[in-house]
Amino acid sequence: MNKLKTENIIVYRKENEFSAWPRNCGVYKYKGDEIVVNFFTRTCYYQTKEEVNHGYQPPDNSSRIMQIRSNDGGRTWNNPEKIMSSINLGQGKPDEIEFLPPKKFDFKNPDFMLVAIKNKLLFSSDKGKNIYGPCRLPLFGYDFNWARPDYLVRDDGSLILFSTVNYADGREGKPIAIISKNHSISWEILSYINYEKNDYMQIMPSGVILPSGKMLCAIRCQRYRHGFSFWSECYVSEDYGRTWNFLSRINDIGSPCHLLLLDDGRILATYGYRSYPFGVRCSFSEDEGKTWKNEFIIRDDGGSWDLGYPVSVQLDNGDIFSVYYFNDSTDKIQQDGGVRYIAGSIFRI
């Protein structure tokens, strides 16, 4: 097992907040090592176990999506700004959510940003400085359509957005690819990445387009009755996302997994490690995802399982910056782990 030499950074932390899930909210790298991180946060005093439950709603209705920006590759960060309130997260009544009409966006614009929170879409053409939305993403006849801001833009200008819908029995677990061929005016299901499993769910797909034209997609796999039995699988499409086939298993333990195509052609897989020692790990592939090389430890000093959801970007000098949520084993505040905060690591493989 190889432990990487990393520079660990606090992106955002407040001792009276629970801050988490950058993978669910969006991480974006722009020209000149400008990085934008969206994340979830809410009030939390870490007094009871109830407060750190992922479904907990604080009495002050403080749940929100925040956006924070770095102009130096993740080493320093500007003051965060709120981009979405708790009502628009889906925690209010449906008739309280005001959806804006569809509007055309240039998916190939280098300053484009798409934020997907469940079936709500936010757009920006200037790196998130001005936000349009929320716009409604169709349910396609399912009970829910849980999209996250993981998407690919094809050469023809179409955008493929990855999401998860429910099984026939209502459980979460069916990964899909959604497409817009008209600059976000309308969305359709392009393909099912896999079909229903009897005893485990497949969620949170993350994709890359390879120089060969193939698309790869990593999927979080997790057993229903044993929440910490989880791993990551890789699927491949050779027809622009229309059909998918199983390609490889990325790790023994670890998810959700984010894929990044590196400048040298390798594929980096970064994932949370929610078994002891808790932390964040990665591995890479040199053969288009068929096999995955040595697992590397980015860090293993987490205070509990409640961490991860990493997203990685490559900096202009070739270094990797991975951002995730974390809690420290040495934190003076402990409630099934320390204060949940947004952290990052800079490293090179």
Query: pTM value?
Result: 0.95
**How many degrees, rounded to 5, is the angle at CA 33 between CA 29 and CA 205?**
20
Q: The CATH number of the domain where 32 resides is what?
A: 2.120.10.10
103 belongs to a structural domain:
no
Structural domains counted in the chain: 1
Which helix H or strand E contains 254, and what residues bound it? none
Number of DSSP helices (H) and strands (E) in the chain, helices first: 1, 25
112 belongs to a structural domain:
no
State which residues form the domain around 309.
2-78+150-347
111 belongs to a structural domain:
no
Q: Do 193 and 207 form a contact (C-beta atoms < 8 A)?
A: no
120 belongs to a structural domain:
no
Express each pLDDT in 293-344 by its tens digit: 889 999 999 999 999 999 999 999 999 999 999 999 999 999 999 999 999 9
Exposed, middle or buried, 174 (CB in 10 Å: 0-12/13-18/19+)? buried
295 belongs to a structural domain:
yes
Does residue 93 carry a pLDDT above 70? no
258 belongs to a structural domain:
yes
Q: Quick one: pLDDT at residue 169? A: 87
Sheet holding 320-326, edge to edge: 7-12, 341-347, 320-326, 308-314
121 belongs to a structural domain:
no
267 belongs to a structural domain:
yes
